[in-house]
Amino acid sequence: MAYAANQSILFDNVSKFYGDVLGVNRISLAIGPGVTSLVGPNGSGKTTLMNLMTGLIWPTKGSVRVLGLTAQDPERFFRLVGYCTQFDSFARGVTGREFIYDSLRLHGLTHKEAADRTQESLERVNMTEAADRKVAAYSKGMRQRVRLAQSICHHPKVLVLDEPLNGLDPMARAESMALFSALGKDGMHVIISSHILHEVDRISDQVILLNSGYVVAEGQIQGVRDEVKEHPMQIMLRCSHPGLMAAKLFAQDHIMEAKLHDDGRGMLIRTRDAGRFYSQLHEIVLEGEIDLEAVAPADDDVNSVYQYLIGSEGATV
Amino acid sequence: MSSEGLAIPMRAKAEGYPWQLWRTQLLTILRLELKRNFFKLRGFWIYLLAFAPAVIIAAHAATSRGRCTLEEDTTILAGIFELFYLRLGIFFGCMGIFTRLFRGEVIEKSLHYYFLAPVRRELLVLGKFLAGVIAAIFFFGSGVLLSFIFMNGHFGQAGRQYVFAGPGMGQLGSYLLVTVLACIGYGSLFLLMGILFRNPVVPAVIILLWESINNVLPAMLKKLSIIFYLLPLCPVEVPAEGLGTLFTVVADPVPIYVAIPGLLCLSALTLFYAARKIRSMEISYGTD
């Protein structure tokens, strides 16, 4: 999808080398609003890409622009961008509230404005009770949440989150996911890297798969899946007479395999052409011999796409 | 939550520079730096460098009544100032204070918070530098002031006469001026070292040697030294023989009207270079 330059995050043939070590190579991307997930194993370049996006590191080649701006213009750039890094470190002796308040003061806000926005962002991450305790006494999950609060406290248009779910308990994780999803639906650019693929999968509008510093695939989950032509799609069917269904389906050459379920109430189909499969299925159902109870893609998620593209050395799930 | 960015409290560039925003940011950086980095227990050795001479002089004042003259003690104070404060105390104190400003944050992995704020990095350099200068002047200015008070105080009426009706007050003013200039000069230098080097101790030793041999350097190179501008401003000549002259006598001293602007220019150039370097600095804690 094409986006206007001032509405998207643009990587133009970006390479980053750390000495002789490759960070990312020849990345060209246009990331629009919504939730975008960066997925890849450790060392694949996810954090490098995020650091390039936010000006913590500079590209060796190429250019990065976020909503038409670069980090060389920090006064405008960082009003629009919030970054929750993986660095689990804070200035000594600071409390959660001070940490966010000081950040807002650097934005030029008055004491009252900064105090109000600090309270607001603490409430968003459910950290109001612990806000006046020293960060050093926080659990990992609390530190993660207070860093998240700091990254959204100035109401950015672009929110970059490097492994934001690390250390969170299930409740906080679900709340964070809901928050990211809501922000994405609000029109914010939310960029998330995570190893927890099934959770990222649920809220992502698009995914960027990385391996060894290269973009392996990008786009909507379905679109990425379609790029994997050599890998057949798996579709689960629940129906009456699965044997008959399998026989009818095998009349077409795109069906590669059908595995009947042990309970005799369904099967797993592997097909090279999902579009043709669904058309054929529709015709079979209209014939009225077989009752179709359920049909669902069995591998149309980030994890399976990722496994197809990168292989078994992929991310931990 | 609204996804709109903050209302930017700055005017468009065409209307002028956002001085109000810069002022707020500068004051915030100053407050944060002074609160986080100074007046903490871990700076104990800097307090020791600043106040040890005052303690020793106080002990001397308490035990040597009548056994020394005002002239002798004035010369001893001048020696302490030139040989201890300028050559060691302020030098190493500034090293401890100013190299920490950036390198310390890299070690503690907290510098990225500043880099992700809407603050020009040049302003960050200035804010951190000013915070360091305020702290250094507070410590070493207080140390010098106390040393002066203790050294002259135990002479009673003669001491008061010397300070308030004689050259004493002028000498104190000169000592404090030199202290301020030394903090600015060495501060800018060590701030730059903290940006350029992962381990600023080695360059600090090289600078110490450079400052020590200033007297024997060619005229052009002498001007690239902090001590070259400071020693001519010291109010009392320290009698020295042999090797001592290397540290207390300046060959071809510059007049005051050159020394003060000269040192300030040197510091400004150093800060300017530091600001240039910080613009391209990257956060790579893993390799530091």
- Say if residue B82's pLDDT is above 80: yes
**Ramachandran region of residue A166, left (φ > 0), alpha (ψ -120 to 50) or beta?**
beta
Residue type, A29: L
**Ramachandran region of residue A296, left (φ > 0), alpha (ψ -120 to 50) or beta?**
beta
User: Is B282–A156 a contact, with Cβ atoms under 8 angstroms apart?
Assistant: no
- Judge whether B194 and B105 are in contact, CB under 8 Å: no
- Say if residue B114's pLDDT is above 60: yes
Helix axes B142-153, B44-63, angle to 10 degrees: 10
Strand partners, B105: none
User: Is B32–A91 a contact, with Cβ atoms under 8 angstroms apart?
Assistant: yes
- Say if residue B120's pLDDT is above 80: yes
Q: Of A180, A100, A186, A88, whose CA–CA distance to A140 is shortest?
A: A88
Picking from A75, A84, A99, A109 by the largest number of B CB atoms within 10 A of its own CB, the best residue to mutate is A75
- B1, B8, B115 ranked by CB distance to A183: nearest: B1
In sequence order, the 6+-apart residues with CB closer than 8 A to the CB of B151 are: B57, B60, B61, B73, B74, B76, B77
User: Is B108–A183 a contact, with Cβ atoms under 8 angstroms apart?
Assistant: no
Q: Using alpha carbons only, how large is chain A's radius of gyration in Å?
A: 23
Pairing status of strand A61-66 against strand A292-297: unpaired
Torsion of CA B4, B10, B16, B21, to 10 degrees: -150
**Residue with the larger pLDDT of the pair A48 and B14:** A48
User: Is A155–B18 a contact, with Cβ atoms under 8 angstroms apart?
Assistant: no
CB distance from B20 to chain A under 8 Å?
yes
Determine whether A297 is exposed, middle or buried from the number of CB atoms within 10 Å of its CB (0-12, 13-18, 19+): middle
Picking from A69, A89, A100, A119 by the largest number of B CB atoms within 10 A of its own CB, the best residue to mutate is A89
Give the pLDDT confidence score for residue B12 in this predicted structure: 44
Distance from CA of A2 to the nearest CA of B (A): 22
- A87, A93, A155 ranked by CB distance to B6: nearest: A155
Q: Check residue A289 and report its DSSP letter.
A: S
Give the pLDDT confidence score for residue B3 in this predicted structure: 42
Mean pLDDT of chain A: 87
In sequence order, the 6+-apart residues with CB closer than 8 A to the CB of A185 are: A34
Residues B171-191: tens digit of each pLDDT: 999 999 999 999 999 999 999
Give the pLDDT confidence score for residue A296 in this predicted structure: 79
Phi, psi of A240 (to 5 degrees): -80, 155
Q: Mean pLDDT, to the nearest integer, of A142-151?
A: 94
Q: Mean pLDDT, to the nearest integer, of A1-21?
A: 85
**Residue with the larger pLDDT of the pair B90 and A212:** B90
- Judge whether A139 and A172 are in contact, CB under 8 Å: no
Q: Write out residues 240-279 of B within 8 Å (CB-CB) of A.
A: 279
Give the pLDDT confidence score for residue A316 in this predicted structure: 40
Give the pLDDT confidence score for residue A32 in this predicted structure: 92
Chain B CB contacts of A83 below 8 Å? 116
- A83, A108, A187 ranked by CB distance to B116: nearest: A83
Number of A–B residue contacts, CB under 8 Å: 112
Q: Mean pLDDT, to the nearest integer, of A55-74?
A: 95
User: Is A109–B9 a contact, with Cβ atoms under 8 angstroms apart?
Assistant: yes
Picking from B3, B34, B112, B280 by the largest number of A CB atoms within 10 A of its own CB, the best residue to mutate is B3
Compute CA distances A298 → A105, A234, B109, whole Å: 50, 5, 43
Q: Mean pLDDT, to the nearest integer, of B10-24?
A: 72
- Judge whether B136 and B95 are in contact, CB under 8 Å: no
Distance from CA of B181 to the nearest CA of A (A): 29
Six-digit token string for A112: 């009252």
Distance CA A93, CA A99 (A): 10
Distance CA B247, CA B212 (A): 7
Six-digit token string for A169: 């308990």
Residue B228's CB is within 10 A of a number of other CB atoms, namely 26
- B1, B108, B283 ranked by CB distance to A51: nearest: B283
- Judge whether A246 and A280 are in contact, CB under 8 Å: no
Six-digit token string for B203: 């360059």
In sequence order, the 6+-apart residues with CB closer than 8 A to the CB of A76 are: A69, B8, B118
User: Is A102–B18 a contact, with Cβ atoms under 8 angstroms apart?
Assistant: no
Q: Which residue of B has its CA nearest to A188?
A: B3
- Judge whether B184 and B236 are in contact, CB under 8 Å: no
Give the pLDDT confidence score for residue A219 in this predicted structure: 83
Residues B122-160: tens digit of each pLDDT: 999 999 999 999 999 999 999 999 999 999 988 888 889
Distance CA A51, CA A57 (A): 6
Residues A224-241: tens digit of each pLDDT: 666 665 667 788 889 989
User: Is A155–B280 a contact, with Cβ atoms under 8 angstroms apart?
Assistant: no
Chain A CB contacts of B283 below 8 Å? 51, 56-57
Confidence label for A100 from pLDDT (cuts 50, 70 and 90): very high
Picking from A98, A107, A121 by the largest number of B CB atoms within 10 A of its own CB, the best residue to mutate is A107
Give the pLDDT confidence score for residue B31 in this predicted structure: 94
Distance CA A32, CA A208 (A): 12
Give the pLDDT confidence score for residue A78 in this predicted structure: 96
Q: Residues, chain B, total?
A: 288
Confidence label for A170 from pLDDT (cuts 50, 70 and 90): confident
Q: Write out residues 79-138 of B within 8 Å (CB-CB) of A.
A: 108-110, 112-121
User: Is B28–A102 a contact, with Cβ atoms under 8 angstroms apart?
Assistant: yes
Q: Of A50, A51, A65, whose CA–CA distance to A4 is shortest?
A: A65
Give the pLDDT confidence score for residue A282 in this predicted structure: 82
Chain B CB contacts of A152 below 8 Å? 1
Give the pLDDT confidence score for residue B241 in this predicted structure: 67
CB distance from B41 to chain A under 8 Å?
no
Compute CA distances A234 → A259, B208, B254, whole Å: 10, 72, 85
Residues B198-208: tens digit of each pLDDT: 888 899 999 99
Confidence label for A314 from pLDDT (cuts 50, 70 and 90): very low
CA atoms within 13 A on the CB side of A201: 18
- Say if residue B2's pLDDT is above 50: no
Torsion of CA A207, A208, A209, A214, to 10 degrees: 170
Residues B213-252: tens digit of each pLDDT: 887 888 888 888 899 899 889 999 887 666 666 666 666 7
Chain A CB contacts of B20 below 8 Å? 108
